Amino acid sequence: MRLQKYLAHMGVASRRHAEDLIRAGRVKVNGQVVTVMGFKIEPGRDEVTVDGRPVNEPERKVYVLLYKPSGYVTTVKDPQGRPTVLDLLRDVPGRIYPVGRLDYATEGLLLLTNDGELTLRLTHPRYRIPKTYLALVEGVPGAKTVARLRRGVELEDGPTSPAEVEIRRIKNGRALLKLTLREGRKREVRRMLAAVGHPVKWLKRIKFAFLTLGDLKPGEYRYLAPHEVARLYQMVGLSSPQYKN
């Protein structure tokens, strides 16, 4: 492969700018400065540097949808020694990180990836990515309480955005609620429901954006399909990635 094409392929610079780097003597192949246009290298065998820094294969992007069980923390490491969600992903290549958090006792859908820009946008309130939960609560919220949740609830860190709320089932003095939020505050669902007098007994996230758990069981995971990744990109205003499954 021609050197300038290789530099462009690796994302170092455009083809034209790569040629400028070569002419300026800033590119070395196997420790030797190369200034000749059209110089050919063998990717994977020849060592190429720009300004002394190696040109490495870009990190392959990985996108995983996990059914997080309760009893796992959504961090890379836990100072208390509790199991983390990464303990469930031993066969996933490279290092990936959670997109947002589910607390220790909460189960359900969790995305993990090494795509930093996508993570930043999916978790930023500006993009209002919907997240849907099932919550079993103590007591049965009345019409005024449901209306209050739909308007937004005042918490210690300010009012929440309006939530979509419906009562799915009532049994033994407890209600099963379905809630959709477009924020990502810490323990927001639990704090909202506690604030209106209906503490959460069980909580599960069933949907993130358009993604659902499908047939996954707790602790199981799958890789996102290319069209799913492209749709997430579209939702947050990014150009579709050059993604390989």
For residues 96-112, b (16+ Cβ closer than 10 Å) or e, as one string?
Answer: bbbbbbbebebbbbbbb
Q: Is 103 a catalytic residue?
A: yes
pLDDT score for 58: 67
Domains annotated on the chain, with CATH:
3-54 (3.10.290.10), 59-127+211-245 (3.30.70.580), 130-208 (3.30.70.1560)
243: pLDDT strictly greater than 60: no
pLDDT digits (tens, 9 = 90+) for 164-182: 999 999 999 999 999 999 9
The H-assigned helical ranges of the chain are: 3-9, 15-23, 116-123, 143-151, 188-195, 226-235
When comparing pLDDT for 117 and 234, which is higher?
234
pLDDT digits (tens, 9 = 90+) for 109-138: 999 998 888 998 999 989 999 999 999 999
C-alpha triplet 132, 134, 136: angle, nearest 5°:
150
Q: Which is catalytic among the residues 91, 103, 115, 215? A: 103
Rounded percentage of the chain residues whose pLDDT exceeds 90: 73
Phi-psi region of 44 (alpha: psi -120 to 50; beta: other; left: phi over 0): left
Mean pLDDT for all residues in the chain: 91
